[in-house]
Amino acid sequence: EAGVAQSPRYKIIEKRQSVAFWCNPISGHATLYWYQQILGQGPKLLIQFQNNGVVDDSQLPKDRFSAERLKGVDSTLKIQPAKLEDSAVYLCASSSQLAGGRQETQYFGPGTRLLVL
Amino acid sequence: AQSVTQPDIHITVSEGASLELRCNYSYGATPYLFWYVQSPGQGLQLLLKYFSGDTLVQGIKGFEAEFKRSQSSFNLRKPSVHWSDAAEYFCAALGDYKLSFGAGTTVTVRA
């Protein structure tokens, strides 16, 4: 079974530029998550999708971050414009159970490491 | 507020020695609990999980964890570490439909 795929693996941009990350979850997984992991910290949830609908985006800085999952499969996360403090690893995860359902295990992709100069 | 705490930022252990990583949670009800490992430049790999039942959980790579309700803890153990176990370890709890992570413990293995 293929795991969660993410691209690119690394990205370097200058502040005020825009950047987009892509995620393809495990086949059949209805729930998709984007996390931000700042160096030295644990991952923090940015947004959660159930199929193509948003379940939770309370921690997403909506003035600069956006995400979509139009067909309920793969997803993109965009930052526009980027700030220095956005430098982090952006992790995508997916799970097969419904959001908040029992025995929900999240499987993570390799992440995209973003450096904003 | 719900939280997960990993008291040890960094642990150094000799190869072949035992390892124990601490994790405490603060939730109103017992959450689902997980341990993930992250090798340099890699994503998070699930080591083991606890939902209910037997409080001693076996995972991959020879790891186990014990859930102790009275101490609100879910500590991770391995009897004999290998150099390949050098990584960052995250404890996580699923409650209120959200997965919350501790800050992580970095494990260094010395020869």
pLDDT attached to residue A99: 58
* A34, A47 Cβ separation under 8 angstroms: yes
Q: Between residues A51 and A98, which one has the greater pLDDT?
A: A51
CA distance B98 to chain A (A): 7
The third-level CATH classification (topology) of the domain covering B3-110 is: Immunoglobulin-like (2.60.40)
pLDDT attached to residue B6: 97
Counting residues of chain B whose pLDDT is more than 70, the rounded percentage is 100
pLDDT attached to residue B33: 94
User: Is the pLDDT score of A98 beyond 80?
Assistant: no
Q: Which of A19, A5, A116 is nearest to B43 (CA)?
A: A5
Query: Where along chain B do its domains lie?
Result: 3-110
Domains within chain A, CATH numbers bracketed: 5-98+107-116 (2.60.40.10)
pLDDT per residue over A44-64, tens digit each?
999 999 888 998 999 999 999
pLDDT attached to residue B27: 84
pLDDT attached to residue A101: 59
Interface of B with A (CB under 8 A): 4, 32, 34, 36, 41-46, 49, 51, 90, 92, 94, 96-104
pLDDT attached to residue A115: 97
pLDDT attached to residue B107: 97
User: Is the pLDDT score of A1 beyond 70?
Assistant: no
Q: How many CA atoms lie less than 13 Å away from A115 in the CB half-sphere?
A: 5
For residue B91, the cross-strand partners are: B35
| Cβ contact, residue pair B44, A55, below 8 Å | no
For residue B48, the cross-strand partners are: B35
Residue B22: CB atoms within 10 A of its CB come to 16
pLDDT attached to residue A21: 97
| Cβ contact, residue pair B90, A55, below 8 Å | no
Structure tokens at A34: 């984007």
CA distance A50 to chain B (A): 12
pLDDT per residue over B52-97, tens digit each?
888 999 999 999 999 999 999 999 999 999 999 999 999 999 887 7
For residue B11, the cross-strand partners are: B107
